Amino acid sequence: LSFIRRILRTVCHLDTHLFGCSAAAQVKTSRETKGQFLSVNMAFSVGVMSAMYLTKGITGAHLNPAVSLSFCVLGQVQWGRLVPYCLSQLLGAYVASALVYLVYYDAIMDFSGGDLTVYGPNETASIFATYPSEYMTLGRSFLDQVVGTGMLMLCILCLGEKRNTPAPAELIPPIVAVIVLGISMSMSGNCGAAINPARDLGPRLFTLTAGWGTEVFTCYDYWFWVPLVAPPIGGVMGTFMYLIFIEWHLPDPDQPDNDSALSISETIKQPEHSNFLYRVASL
């Protein structure tokens, strides 16, 4: 049973990347005649939704090491599961990239002329992993990933909060998909909106072994560590923002609302004209 669950976790992440990287390959190799930038954003979002529906009831649909780490910090996931989750997510992303490469092999070779590179108009490395725009510095790139992942955690933590406005359990996957779509549509211009260490490292490792070479790690001043380190930091920061500014201010359903009880009692004791003035002042 434990082995099957590990396989399902791998399949879960494979599903996400198979959609997204396939869309990236289709758009890139067709020179945007068979899709545009938005197509890639939407495909990754559909992959997130389908992966959550596929395994949410079995593994909790852990797709992102940064999210898994944040839930460990919250005490909702055991720390002992963090490493197995992350390894499964990484393996799923690697296998998905290999499948995309096999499916789009002819298109990739025709587009690149057989020269697998990271730079230039015919580069194909960005089909799989994320890379920064040439104008970005490492510091700004780091901030970009921290903010994007922080927004992800800030938005998804409220979905199951019964003291606020919880989402129906069966609708959480499409809602999360829309959140991912919103982030990728608004925050992917700088660095590709990885917001997920496994989503970036798994495909990057595949390109290393498939012919792109070590340049996938050395390019852009060794930029590869940014989507590996910044998302976990951003996820934890987003989690604490949610706790400090939202969760700790929500009412406790097990305790009566003392303010409401006091207002009612004061209203009963006051004369009718004072009662009217009190209601007006309350408005």
Distance CA 22, CA 19 (A): 5
**Gyration radius of the chain over CA positions:** 23
Mean pLDDT across the chain: 87
Average pLDDT over residues 170-181: 96
Sign of the alpha-carbon dihedral angle for 215, 211, 117, 124: negative
pLDDT category at 11 given cuts 50, 70, 90 is low
Query: What's the whole-model pTM score?
Result: 0.86
Residue 206 pLDDT more than 50? yes
Q: pLDDT at position 221, please? A: 95
Residue 8 pLDDT more than 90? no
Q: Which residue in 66, 60, 24 sits closest to 42, CA to CA?
A: 24
Domains of the chain: 1-249 (1.20.1080.10)
Residue 111 pLDDT more than 60? yes
- Half-sphere exposure (CA, 13 Å, Cβ side) for 14? 15
Q: pLDDT at position 7, please? A: 59
Residue 108 pLDDT more than 90? yes
Q: Which residue in 265, 225, 207, 235 sits closest to 77, CA to CA?
A: 235
- DSSP assignment string, 69-127: HHHHHHTSS-GGGHHHHHHHHHHHHHHHHHHHHHHTHHHHHHHHTT---SSSTT--GGG
Sign of the alpha-carbon dihedral angle for 144, 194, 228, 72: positive
Residue 5 pLDDT more than 80? no
